[in-house]
Chains A and B, each alone.
Chain A
Amino acid sequence: MQFFGGSAEVNPSPLAPAGTGTGLLGNNTYMMYVFNRNGVCLLYREWHRPLKTLDSQQDQKLMFGVLFSLKSFTTKMDPISAEKGSLGVPLLPGQGCSFHSFRTNTYKLSFMESPSGVKIILVTHPKCGDLRESLRYIYNIYVEYVMKNPLYAPGTAIKCELFNTKLDQYIRTIV
């Protein structure tokens, strides 16, 4: 339900989450992925990526695989719930304990899954703070400019100009 909290307003550009619009250095976001529930990469954008170890298709597959495995890992590891099922069983969106970010010494990956199974992945500088609000904001942009676009066929790559413009605008404000 949390994703539909602001559905009462029909404003196509909801307010950006507080604390992310300070307009400091606009070079903190490295890349972004959007996957649908079948693992099709709907969008891949990069702003700063000096190192490429794989070709783009392999890279996207690997990213989806990592998210899938980490989700089953966290579900099995969950120290709070007693019922954890068995490792490696595919889970529905919102089922089981998920994760929202991980950090290495060179980057931070933030992850959000919508109730319909759309996964948004943001790779940023490791010093970036909690980006859950930002991901939700990006999801809102996605709903407004992609899902509500009558020319967009679900499950295909996103080629909506307005979405890209809005996204670029917002990405520059993430600190």
Chain B
Amino acid sequence: MAVTVAVYSLFIINKSGGLIFYKDYGSAGRMDTNDSLRLASLWHSMHAISQQLSPTVGCSGIELLQADTFDLHCFQSLTGTKFFVVCEPGRANMEALLKAIYELYTDFVLKNPFYEMEMPIRCELFDLNLSQAVQRDRPPVFPGR
């Protein structure tokens, strides 16, 4: 738990707002399954409502939410699946990481013949490649800090 990670957690939401994948990379405090499901559907609604509040046409929802202690980067695929990562404030390259995660999703989840669309993701190869992609993003750990 003591390891510093740039990314705190990753959520994947299907097009109807259901949480299909959640992974924690070391945020403080426990979040139980119900909480993560609620947060996911809450984000789904906020994403939809933000489009209604837009002053101009063509809004496609929140891309970046900047909170006091974290940044949330969200990427929505053309089919409506939403990917979002919670990371340290001010970290760059999160769009690239989200694109990489999307690529892994298409390769190891959608191309898996045993995967049922819109259902929770349980694919070993996806897990494996995902943790590699996130680790690559990890900053060097300084023992002095």
**Which residues of A line the B interface, CB within 8 A?**
30-31, 46, 48-51, 53-54, 59, 62-63, 65-66, 69-70, 72-74, 76-84, 87, 97-107, 109, 123
Contacts of B72 in A (CB 8 A): 77
Given contacts A51-B55, A66-B50, contact A97 B35 (CB under 8 A): no
Q: Which residues of chain A are near B31, meaning CB under 8 Å?
A: 76, 84
B54 interface residue, CB < 8 Å from A? yes
Contacts of B61 in A (CB 8 A): 104
Q: Is B123 an interface residue (CB 8 A)?
A: no
Say yes or no: A73 contacts B42, CB within 8 Å: yes
* CB of B49 within 8 Å of the partner chain: yes
Contact between chains at A79 and B58 (CB < 8 Å)? no
Residues of B within 8 A of A70 (CB): 46, 65
B-side contacts of A79, CB under 8 Å: 8-9, 26-28, 69-70, 86
Assess whether B38 is interfacial by the CB under 8 Å rule. Answer: yes
- A54, B57: Cβ atoms closer than 8 Å: no
A62-B53 in contact (CB<8A) = yes
- Give the shortest distance, in Å, between B32 (CB) and chain A (any CB): 11
| Residue with the highest number of chain A CB atoms closer than 10 Å, among B8, B9, B53 | B53
Cα–Cα distance between A101 and B54 once the two chains are bound (Å)? 14
The answer to whether residues A104 and B63 also contact, given A49-B55, A69-B46 and a CB cut-off of 8 A, is: yes
Q: Return B53 CB to nearest CB of chain A, in Å.
A: 6
Pick from B27, B50, B68: contact of A104, CB under 8 Å: B50
CB-CB nearest in chain A for B56? A106
Q: Is B60 an interface residue (CB 8 A)?
A: yes
Is the CB–CB distance between B28 and A51 below 8 Å? no
Q: A78-B69, A79-B28, A98-B68 are in contact. Are A105 and B53 (CB under 8 A)?
A: no
Q: Which residues of chain A are within 8 angstroms of B35 by Cβ–Cβ distance?
A: 76, 87
From A59, A63, A73, A103, B63 is in contact (CB under 8 Å) with: A103
Q: How far is the CB of A87 from chain B (nearest CB, A)?
A: 5
User: CA separation between A63 and B50, bound complex, in Å?
Assistant: 9
Whether the pair B28, A107 counts as a contact (CB closer than 8 A) is no
For A77, the chain B residues whose CB sits under 8 A away are 39, 67, 70, 72, 86
Query: Within the complex, what minimum Cβ distance (angstroms) separates B63 from chain A?
Result: 6
B67: chain A residues at CB < 8 Å are 74, 77-78, 97-100
Tell me, in angstroms, the Cα distance from A123 to B63 when the chains sit together.
Answer: 15
Task: Check if B51 is an interface residue, CB within 8 A of chain A.
Answer: yes
Question: 5 tightest A-B contacts by CB?
Answer: A79-B27, A82-B29, A79-B8, A99-B67, A30-B55
Residue of B nearest to A50 (CB): B56
Given A77-B86, A79-B86, decide whether A50 and B69 contact each other with a Cβ distance below 8 A: no
Is A66 a contact partner of B56 (Cβ separation < 8 A)?
Answer: no
Contacts of A30 in B (CB 8 A): 55-56
Complex contact B28–A82 (CB within 8 A):
yes
Q: What CA separation (Å) do A106 and B53 show in the bound complex?
A: 10
Partner of B60 from A51, A76, A104 at Cβ < 8 Å: A104
